[in-house]
Amino acid sequence: MIYIEGGTESQQALAKELYYFCSQELEIKKQVELDLRIEDVDHAEAWTDHEGEGKFYIDIEKDLSVDQFITAFCHEMVHVIQHLRDKPISEKEAYRLESDLADTFKSRN
């Protein structure tokens, strides 16, 4: 389940699409509760925090272009799956997979 705070209506709609797309593509099988805030983010385009028990927080910069928003969201969802699979958090893996996810998402829309 995704809960969204802030951003424009189009950003919120895009975030919902991306959440369900990434969940399917990354084969997330566990129950995930994601609180997404689209707001001013200091010193980053986005970040993820894991509370445990399938609870995640993602903040994404509200002033990103659509392409940047898609890429940032995909990147953060890679971190979600890393947590869920008890893998070490790897920026290298997140940067590698974000492009594939973003390109696949854009090709389907």
For residues 25-47, one letter each, b for 16 or more C-beta atoms within 10 angstroms of the residue's C-beta and e for the rest, the string is: bbebeeebebbbbbeebeeebbb
The pLDDT mean for the chain works out to 94
pLDDT of residue 44: 84
- CATH of residue 49: 3.30.2010
Share of the chain above pLDDT 90, in %: 86
The domain total for the chain is 1
Instruction: For residues 60-65, give the mean pLDDT.
Output: 96
Please state, in angstroms and as integers, the Cα–Cα distance from residue 24 to each residue in 5, 16, 30, 42, following that order: 23, 13, 11, 30
- Which residues span the domain enclosing 60? 2-108
pTM of the model: 0.94
Residue 78 has pLDDT above 90, yes or no: yes
